[in-house]
Structure 1
Amino acid sequence: MANLETSLKDAMAIEGSIGVALVDYNSGMALGTLGDGSDLDLTVAAAANTDLVRAKMRTMEMLNLQDNGIEDILISLTSQYHLIRPLTTQSGRGLFLYLALNRSRANLAMARHQLKRIEGTLEI
């Protein structure tokens, strides 16, 4: 099992990573962030993406899709990918990992795979 600091460092080791945050989607607060901040304000991104996660959770409830948990949410920008992965572990409920990637340097499939692995080892 990995602690928060180790997990954030592992996420930053993913090819093309710009920044990563672990976010509480009930409050919108980042529990931890890592990245140089020159390309992206992770605190603002954490708070803003909280609204997106909440909206998707509400939509799934309205559609009665509770048995189909969200693996991840992908936002494709012209120069970046933003991956949001709600945690499914018991200690991670109500949290999500947010990872921003440089689109020209990232392998999206590999990034999703590695973020899933990081989620599985993260101990809150």
Structure 2
Amino acid sequence: MPGIDECLLHAMRLPGVRGAALVDWTSGLALGTVGDAAGADHETAATETAELARMAAEHPTFAPAADEETAAREGSGAPSGSGSGKTPPIEDLVVTTRTCYHVLRFVETSFDSSVLLHLWLDRVEGNLALARLRMRDLTERLVLE
């Protein structure tokens, strides 16, 4: 099971990736970064990414409906390898600009955490569908200590 550095290096192997970061979305702290920063620097990008993630995660519009929560608890919606900890309210966010994609994947952990994987993709060279699938796999296997 990969740690932070290995997870980020695997993410950088995707076509069109310009940068990746693991971010605590409550504090805005970058836990690890690799590649180019989306914006001025990695710290600023982490802070701004966390702000967007908090808005989406804490807004009632994006909270799962009661029926979805019940289905997830009964086993049909829980990701494989997930622990018994806090389940992020949403799976991922995709922000599309004219030149790139920003994909934010919330990480489910066995303890109460608020971590996400941020992938910055070139729009011409990147494959959004492949990136989302690979990010799901990476975050399910990620080991945070």
Give TM-score, length-normalised by structure 1.
0.88
* 8 A contact 1:91–1:123 mirrored in 2: no
Percent of aligned positions that are identical: 33
Distance change in 2, residues 1:63/1:49 (3 Å):
closer
Larger Rg: 2
**Unpaired runs of at least 5, structure 1:** none
Change (3 A) 1:73 1:64: closer
Q: CA deviation at 1:14?
A: 0.9
- Deviation digits for residues 77-112 of structure 1 (CA, Å, limit 9, x no counterpart): 000000001111224731011010000001110010
Contact 2:57 2:63 survives alignment (8 Å): no
Q: Could you list the per-position Cα deviations for residues 48-89 of structure 1 after superposition, in whole angstroms to 9, with x for gaps in the alignment?
A: 0111111112213x6653738311100000000000011112
- Which residue in 2 is equivalent to 1:51? 51
Structure 2 SS opposite 1:5: helix
Determine the C-alpha separation between the residues in 2 that align with 1:113 and 1:5: 19
CA shift in 2, pair 1:18/1:92, >3 Å: farther
Q: For residues 64 and 116 of structure 1, what CA distance do their matches in structure 2 show?
A: 19
Q: Give the CA RMSD over aligned residues.
A: 2.0
Aligned residues: 122
Question: Structure 1 residue 43: deviation in Å?
Answer: 1.9
Given the superposition, is the C-alpha separation of residues 4 and 92 from structure 1 closer, same or farther in structure 2, using an over 3 Å criterion? farther
1:90 match: secondary structure: coil
For 1:81, which of 101, 107, 111 is the aligned residue? 101
Residue 101 to residue 63, structure 1, CA distance change in 2 (3 Å)? closer
Partner amino acid, structure 1, of 2:64? L
Q: Secondary structure at the match of 2:91?
A: coil
TM-score, structure 2 normalization: 0.76
Looking at both structures, which has the greater relative contact order when contacts are Cα pairs under 8 Å and sequence separation is at least 6? 1
Give the aligned partner of residue 65 of structure 1.
64
